[in-house]
Amino acid sequence: MGSEARQLHLFFFPLMAQGHTIPMIDIARLFAARGNKSTIITTPLNALHISENIDEDKKSGLEIHLETIPFPAVEAGLPEGCESVSSITSQEMVFKFFKATDMLQQTFDMLLDEQRPDCVVADMFLPWTTDVAKKYGIPRLVFHGTSYFSLCVIASIFRYAPHEKVMSDSEIFVVPGLPDKIEMKKLQLPNHGESNEKNGFTEKRAKIQETEVSSFGVLVNSFYELEPAYAECYTKDLGRRAWSIGPVSLCNRNFIHKAQRGMKASIDEHYCLSWLDSKEPRSVLYVSFGSLSRFGTAQLHEIAMGLEASNIPFIWVVKMPLNKEKDQDQILPDGFEQRMQGKGLVIRDWAPQVLILDHPAVGGFMTHCGWNSTLEGISAGLPLITWPVFAEQFNNEKLVTQVLKIGIRVGNEVWNSWIEPENVSVTKDRIEEVVTELMGKGEEAKNRRKRVSEFGEMAKKAVEKGGSSYNNLSALIEELRAHSPQSTHMQV
């Protein structure tokens, strides 16, 4: 910038789950790279991963700090050390986990009182941060970590409740007030089979919707050119103040950042890259279902057989069963890995995802439609096979397949818990069919590739100087500076 500007101090308070923490660290980096001070608030076990992630930033002179607060796991009825959503092994633990996050309110209040930052960027699942921040006159920005499209779908369903007017879980309803005709089924909505009253999520959802409006605004990890009609719908029709500043994953430019994003990969990154180097351009399918989704053995076997039958080279990230008693060797069909030597690479647990997606040998991505993965795939210009499982992933699937037309549905219809469902929802024949279609040379496959590669180019431009996301971040920083006169002056 070169001019004298006020340094802001921002608090970043992510939910303790990789899919929420990873983009929040990127956002903290983006603010720090503009000369501001970023403090990430987290709990002791999560701090271990995050400090490895931000070490490089600190060495390069960015002001990124960690503030560690205790997590009341035991007080909320969880086992000691259960500080991350990835440690949850039952539905009951989900509710206890959210109870524990609610119990952080007092500590957060004390931190704000002590440090008086200029702004709080807090996860959607911590809606109470808005009121605590307000008490000190500090603006709070909400971070959902999903697309404008999905935010519009959620707000519309919350406002008009079209799902309450259908007779069955599988009856189609139209989501009102959206730029396109978007049809959904109750089956695709979170916890459709349970009483939300009972599990307490109804109240939480209402509070989240309310804080979208009562907060300073909403930070969106997307870029305007990807979903302009939905950016307009969200801000103009639904009346939210929002800044899209993504794709935030693109701030990871060097090898270490890409390789260690989230946590240390369970494969040597150099081996992984040299494996990819040996493959033809755009020939490899990357298969991953995010940081939480696990499949039972029967579904894993179908995936393995489908991939093998397709004859397409692949990298497949397999999450190990939660039940450690299970024979780890049995989770894949007999001899599968030996037969796939040189053809397919299985990574157990954690892959260096953005490093893989950015490699020129990768030509497609089978994804669970978590928004980070979806956007990372789009940024790398890759067509997608969509296999939504839980959260708002069915919404993202509709954006990808119906609005952007850059993906093929595998056909899973039913929202499920990420906690190791035992049923098979997609057979090996269907997997073979979609993989062959996505990676093939058909006209539609070529068009899909062309469209998504254009979006990939737009994504890169959006975060470059002068791009839409870059400018949105500049405007937001200016607005926050104007809002908060309390920081000291510095040269930026």
Among 224, 275, 286, 371, binds ligand UDP (CB under 6 A): 371
Among 38, 46, 156, 288, binds ligand UDP (CB under 6 A): 288
Among 308, 358, 376, 392, binds ligand UDP (CB under 6 A): 376
Listed residue (145, 155, 147) closest to 176, CA to CA: 155
Query: Minimum Å distance from CB 394 to ligand UDP?
Result: 13
Does 295 sit near ligand UDP (CB under 6 A)? no
Does 317 sit near ligand UDP (CB under 6 A)? yes
Does 149 sit near ligand UDP (CB under 6 A)? no
Contact (Cβ atoms closer than 8 angstroms) between residue 30 and residue 66: no
Task: For strands 242-244 and 172-174, give the pairing.
Answer: unpaired
Task: For strands 119-123 and 284-288, give the pairing.
Answer: unpaired
Catalytic residue from among 26, 57, 118, 123: 123
Query: Minimum Å distance from CB 107 to ligand UDP?
Result: 25
Does 415 sit near ligand UDP (CB under 6 A)? no
Query: Minimum Å distance from CB 257 to ligand UDP?
Result: 11
Q: Two tokens at 184?
A: 């959904």
* H-helix or E-strand spanning residue 203: helix 201-214
Residues 296-315 touching ligand UDP, rule: CB under 6 A, are none
Gap between the terminal Cα atoms of the chain: 6
Site string (210-239) toward ligand UDP, x via CB under 6 A: ------------------------------
Query: Minimum Å distance from CB 177 to ligand UDP?
Result: 26
How far is residue 31's CA from residue 477's CA, in Å, rounded to a whole number?
8
Does 350 sit near ligand UDP (CB under 6 A)? yes
Does 380 sit near ligand UDP (CB under 6 A)? no
Stretch that binds ligand UDP, among 119-127, 211-219, 237-245, 370-378 (CB under 6 A): 370-378
Could you tell me how many residues of this chain bind ligand UDP (CB under 6 A)? 19
How far is residue 288's CA from residue 302's CA, in Å, rounded to a whole number?
15
Residue with token string 């954006």: 399
20 is catalytic: yes
Contact (Cβ atoms closer than 8 angstroms) between residue 355 and residue 272: yes
Q: By C-beta, is 55 or 478 nearer to ligand UDP?
A: 55
How far is residue 320's CA from residue 322's CA, in Å, rounded to a whole number?
6
Q: By C-beta, is 386 or 484 nearer to ligand UDP?
A: 386
Task: For strands 344-348 and 242-244, give the pairing.
Answer: unpaired
Does 291 sit near ligand UDP (CB under 6 A)? yes
Contact (Cβ atoms closer than 8 angstroms) between residue 398 and residue 227: no
Q: By C-beta, is 57 or 392 nearer to ligand UDP?
A: 392
Does 156 sit near ligand UDP (CB under 6 A)? no
Query: Minimum Å distance from CB 21 to ligand UDP?
Result: 9
Q: By C-beta, is 163 or 258 nearer to ligand UDP?
A: 258
Does 248 sit near ligand UDP (CB under 6 A)? no
How far is residue 87's CA from residue 418's CA, in Å, rounded to a whole number?
12
Enumerate residues 6+ apart whose C-beta is below 8 A from 339.
Answer: 308
Q: By C-beta, is 156 or 374 nearer to ligand UDP?
A: 374
Among 22, 120, 259, 438, binds ligand UDP (CB under 6 A): 22
Does 351 sit near ligand UDP (CB under 6 A)? yes
Q: Tell me phi and psi for residue 5, to 5 degrees.
A: -140, 150
Distance of CA 286 to the CA centre of its chain: 17
DSSP letters spanning 156-167 = HHHHH-GGGG-S
Does 353 sit near ligand UDP (CB under 6 A)? yes
Query: Minimum Å distance from CB 311 to ligand UDP?
Result: 24
Stretch that binds ligand UDP, among 207-215, 288-296, 301-309, 323-331 (CB under 6 A): 288-296
Enumerate residues 6+ apart whose C-beta is below 8 A from 47.
Answer: 66, 68
How far is residue 77's CA from residue 73's CA, in Å, rounded to a whole number?
6
Does 18 sit near ligand UDP (CB under 6 A)? yes
For helices 371-379 and 18-33, the axis angle rounded to 10 degrees is 50
123 is catalytic: yes
Helix then strand count (H, E) for the chain reads 19, 17
What is the amino acid identity at position 410?
V
Enumerate residues 6+ apart whose C-beta is below 8 A from 106.
Answer: none
Does 373 sit near ligand UDP (CB under 6 A)? yes
Annotated catalytic sites, by residue?
Answer: 20, 123
Q: Can you give the binding site for ligand UDP, defined by CB under 6 A?
A: 18-19, 22, 261-262, 288, 290-292, 317, 350-351, 353-354, 370-373, 376
